[in-house]
Amino acid sequence: MTLGFLARLMLACLLISCAGLAGAQAQKQGGMLRVTHRDNPPSASIHEEATISTDMPFMAVFNNLVVFDPDSPQNRLDRIVPDLATSWKYSDDDRTLTFQLRDGVKWHDGKPFTSADVKCTWDIVTGKVDGKMRKNPRKTWWFNIKEITTNGPLEVAFHLNDPQPSLLVMLAGGFSPVYPCHVPAAQMRIHPIGTGPFKFIEFRQNESIRLERNPDYWKPGRPYLDGIEYSIIANRSTAILALVAGKFDLTLTGEVTPELVKDVKAQVPQMQCLLQPSNTQGNLLVNRERPPFDDARIRRAMGLAIDRKAFSDILSRGVYNVGGAMLAPPEGLWGWTPEFMATVPGYSADVEKSREEGRRIMAELGYGPDKMLPLKVSTRNIADYRDAAVILIDHLKTVYIQAELEPLDSAVWYARLARKDYAVGMNVQGTGIDDPDVMFFENYLCGSERNYTAYCNPELEKLFHQQSMMKDQDARRQLVWEIDRKLQEDGARPVVYQSQGGTCWWPHVKGLKLAVNSIYNHWRFEDVWLDR
């Protein structure tokens, strides 16, 4: 297991540094990058969306305060580099973070960038100011910001309630661009203005997105590309076929399933494909307020029935990771090591033994092969969700639960979740950044919007806050592991698999640097060039 561990990390690093090494060649100016896209972005405003459909195309229009170092395959706290901020400093009590900002940066419409824009952006996303956004998915990320002050046009300070090392991580992610004060949210949704290397040209619903080079970009000589064009092709097979036929240069990230990656490489051996975690996990939403899952024993029996490896085998030919709430190493920073994982109940390798125990529990409650517990497994009516649900139903049979699939239209799904009108739901969820603050506060905090199961454990919440303030990242990791284990033991939201997805591109696309623990953070495209 350790060998595979190391091998994966080395392979990823190799691939990424090769890409970087290739960048050492003389870069060529010019060319349109053509990318396949799959789902219509709900809008062009990154702050209002939580999907890669919006993040990947539109990240190139913006800059952040800080970004993750593109040369580091792992997005991590100690590899953060300047973007619009040239330097930053913590106050002595770690409760104020002050940024010095870059001079001479202009928005795409010519107006100058100042500290006021930073304050505007974060006043709106924290909810202090009503920016007329239609939605604000990451409001919980910024819970710790007390206020933001500016000191002249080139300095801005974030005042926090408590120390929070993860704040920088959140600011470095693809979901944290700086927005202009002078452009209303409604316009940012259909015609975003940023300071980034590419200007927005047009967005045709369900059809295409076009970006053009920003000749006044503040990094001299960048970007190399003339423009980027995304074509929305709903059918995955068709998109891959078109890529192989040479009509496109790059796929949407995570688009290529492990099976298809093999197929693509078989057809075009020189195609570059990187299979990496997609920050998405399959988990179970268990309604603890409604029978049968108000009975902890039945919850436990269900947990024992799950064969996590089977999910991975079926959905991804064994590629998907098994882990807890946090992304597993070597790609993830905060997930359990295999040694630690072995100590967590429900993650034992002996599935048959677990299932026997599950059957014993159910038998005590009066169930058996002739008297199965009927159950409805609800899920969104989308292939990924449905496939996982079908596997779950099959596993539940082994503990005398006769489950039936209830596929729900997306709108209905979320409405039913809100009303707690379900027994168990098969859920697939994404996380913006590989960070415990993000994971815990978004999903497991009492009363948090995304806490669909209303799981509430005040003791554990204290630990959430405790780890958030810790500066020593190694000690913090230990605490995060413990919290993760407790969450799985509680059956808060049993994690079933952590998915991986592939990104493929032709070798003439150079300078592309992907990270192994996030799909959202490196789509600036300012260093990408075409060798043609």
Residues 213-242 that bind another protein (CB under 8 A): 229, 231, 233-238, 240-242
Buried b (16+ CB within 10 A) or exposed e, 272-298: bbbbbbbbbbbbbbbbbeeebbeeeeb
Q: Does 159 bind another protein (CB under 8 A)?
A: no
Tell which one of 48, 83, 435, 437 touches another protein (CB under 8 A): 48
Size of the site for another protein (CB under 8 A): 74
221: left (phi over 0), alpha (psi -120 to 50) or beta: left
Q: Using CB under 8 A, which of the segments 160-168, 170-178, 215-223, 448-456 binds another protein?
A: 448-456
- Least distance from another protein to the Cβ atom of residue 36, Å: 9
Per residue, what are the HEC states of 457-476?
CHHHHHHHHHHHHCCCHHHH
Q: Does 17 bind another protein (CB under 8 A)?
A: no
- CB 366, CB 394: distance < 8 Å: no
Tell which one of 8, 159, 450, 465 touches another protein (CB under 8 A): 450
Site string for another protein, 427-446 (x = CB under 8 A): --xx----------------
Q: Does 313 bind another protein (CB under 8 A)?
A: yes
Q: Which residues make beta-bridge pairs with 106?
A: 112
Q: Using CB under 8 A, which of the segments 102-110, 255-263, 281-289, 321-329 binds another protein?
A: 255-263
Tell which one of 89, 146, 204, 360 touches another protein (CB under 8 A): 204
- Least distance from another protein to the Cβ atom of residue 377, Å: 10
> What DSSP character marks residue 500?
E
Buried b (16+ CB within 10 A) or exposed e, 378-388: bbbeeebbebb
Q: Does 268 bind another protein (CB under 8 A)?
A: no
Q: Does 51 bind another protein (CB under 8 A)?
A: yes
335: left (phi over 0), alpha (psi -120 to 50) or beta: beta
Under rule CB under 8 A, which residues in 286-305 are in contact with another protein?
none
Q: Using CB under 8 A, which of the segments 44-52, 214-222, 364-372, 487-495 binds another protein?
A: 44-52
Q: Using CB under 8 A, which of the segments 23-31, 218-226, 306-314, 492-500 binds another protein?
A: 306-314
- Least distance from another protein to the Cβ atom of residue 223, Å: 21
Q: Does 387 bind another protein (CB under 8 A)?
A: yes
Tell which one of 26, 205, 269, 270 touches another protein (CB under 8 A): 205
Q: Using CB under 8 A, which of the segments 67-75, 152-160, 405-413, 499-507 binds another protein?
A: 405-413
Q: Using CB under 8 A, which of the segments 69-77, 83-91, 108-116, 311-319 binds another protein?
A: 311-319
Tell which one of 25, 149, 343, 410 touches another protein (CB under 8 A): 410
Buried b (16+ CB within 10 A) or exposed e, 407-425: bbeeeebeeebeeeebbbb
Q: Using CB under 8 A, which of the segments 116-124, 202-210, 278-286, 476-484 binds another protein?
A: 202-210
Under rule CB under 8 A, which residues in 458-497 are in contact with another protein?
none
Q: Between 129 and 186, name the residue whose CB sits nearer to another protein.
A: 186
Rounded to an integer, what distance in angstroms lies between the CA atom of residue 310 and that of residue 355?
A: 14
- Least distance from another protein to the Cβ atom of residue 244, Å: 8
Q: Between 248 and 520, name the residue whose CB sits nearer to another protein.
A: 248
Q: Between 52 and 85, name the residue whose CB sits nearer to another protein.
A: 52
Q: Does 409 bind another protein (CB under 8 A)?
A: yes
Identity at 425, one-letter amino acid code:
G
- CB 418, CB 411: distance < 8 Å: no
Q: Does 85 bind another protein (CB under 8 A)?
A: no
Q: Does 245 bind another protein (CB under 8 A)?
A: yes
Tell which one of 386, 465, 486, 508 touches another protein (CB under 8 A): 386
Rounded to an integer, what distance in angstroms lies between the CA atom of residue 430 and that of residue 413?
A: 16
Tell which one of 390, 456, 463, 479 touches another protein (CB under 8 A): 390
Q: Does 270 bind another protein (CB under 8 A)?
A: no
Q: Does 198 bind another protein (CB under 8 A)?
A: no
Token reading at 149: 């002050």
- CB 186, CB 120: distance < 8 Å: no
3-state secondary structure of 188: helix
Tell which one of 62, 175, 334, 413 touches another protein (CB under 8 A): 413
- What phi and psi values does residue 250 have, to the nearest 5 degrees? -150, 150
> What DSSP character marks residue 358?
H
Identity at 156, one-letter amino acid code:
V
Q: Using CB under 8 A, which of the segments 3-11, 86-94, 186-194, 286-294 binds another protein?
A: 186-194
Q: Using CB under 8 A, which of the segments 133-141, 142-150, 172-180, 485-493 binds another protein?
A: 133-141
- Least distance from another protein to the Cβ atom of residue 260, Å: 7
Tell which one of 452, 464, 497, 506 touches another protein (CB under 8 A): 452
The closest alpha carbon to 242, from 268, 212, 276, belongs to: 268
Contacts of 67 (CB under 8 A, 6+ apart): 80, 81, 82, 83, 172, 521, 524
Tell which one of 260, 274, 284, 492 touches another protein (CB under 8 A): 260
Helix axes 383-396, 296-305, angle to 10 degrees: 110
Q: What is the DSSP string of 282-349?
A: EEEEE-TTSTTTTSHHHHHHHHHH--HHHHHHHHHTT-SB--SSSPPTTT-SSSPPHHHHTTSTT--S
Rounded to an integer, what distance in angstroms lies between the CA atom of residue 448 and that of residue 454?
A: 8
Give me the half-sphere count of Cα atoms (radius 13 Å) on the Cβ side of residue 95: 7
CA dihedral sign, ordered 165, 171, 173, 175: positive
